[in-house]
Amino acid sequence: MRVVRELLRGAALLPRGFALWRHRPGLMALGMLPAAIAAVLIGAGLITLGLFVESIAEALTPFVSEWREQERGIVRTLVALALLTGGIVAAVYSFTALTLLIGDPFYERIWRGAEQHFGDFTPRPLRLLRSVGDGVRLVLRAIGYALITATVGLIPVVGQVASAIVGPVLAGHLLARELTVRPFEARGIDASHRAAVLRGSRARELGFGIAVQLCFLVPGGAIVIMPAAVVGATRLARTVLPDDSASQGAELAD
């Protein structure tokens, strides 16, 4: 039951993130732009894949050219379906990573606005080199999670159901980890310490991240959700730090 409560507590941080719209509407509206740009780019990629998937499948299967037409058609249809499935899985993680990378300067402004609103803490300057390093790690982690999800989907019988569960969990973990980079880094907490802190509140972290990722699955959901997700991640970072006096502000602020 404690795990369930922590999951729900983490998920509740997302709707609470919308409270900042009342105080900084212009700043929050600006935070919708990166997800919109990423959606256009990823959508264009998927459309392009759909238009050329048959040609790609044919190019990947030259060994069936001499087979009977029915057998050749079955093989190439299966390859095309695998390409489309892989493209969709890759799109989920690529969208998340691309949104975070494009939105870095936008989300930093929202995070600073949230910290100011919650009070009891003055963020220290963030270093550019660390931001670049986080971006590289984000892309590599997204690729790894996409491969894991795609591999799970290949398991006979249960693969599709399992991947539908594993996908949002891994993507949610990725979102929660990356969106909390700024509030932790501003408190002088390095990557290993950050991982340890979040590991101690894994259910809450996953509850928040999965809630954000499920909203991403709704058409246009990411565009609306991302500004609130940044605020929610700031709350998450504050509430999982037991010695952070600012955590009380995060719990009490509207």
Residues 6+ apart with CB under 8 A from 97: 138, 139, 142, 174
Give the tens place of pLDDT for each residue, 204-228: 999 999 999 999 888 888 899 999 9
- Residue 245 pLDDT grade (very low, low, confident, very high; cuts 50, 70, 90): very low
The pTM assigned to this predicted structure is 0.80
- How many angstroms separate the CA atoms of 201 and 150, rounded? 27
Residue 230 · residue 111 · CB < 8 Å: yes
User: Looking at residue 38, what is its pLDDT?
Assistant: 92
Range with the largest mean pLDDT of 11-20, 57-66, 174-183: 11-20
Mean pLDDT of 12-35: 92
- How many angstroms separate the CA atoms of 233 and 180, rounded? 5
Provide the greatest CA pair distance for the chain.
73
User: Looking at residue 249, what is its pLDDT?
Assistant: 43
Closest CA to 228 of 95, 121, 96, 114: 114
Give the tens place of pLDDT for each residue, 165-213: 888 899 889 889 889 988 888 888 887 888 888 888 899 999 999 999 9
Helix/strand/coil for 110: helix
User: Looking at residue 131, what is its pLDDT?
Assistant: 59
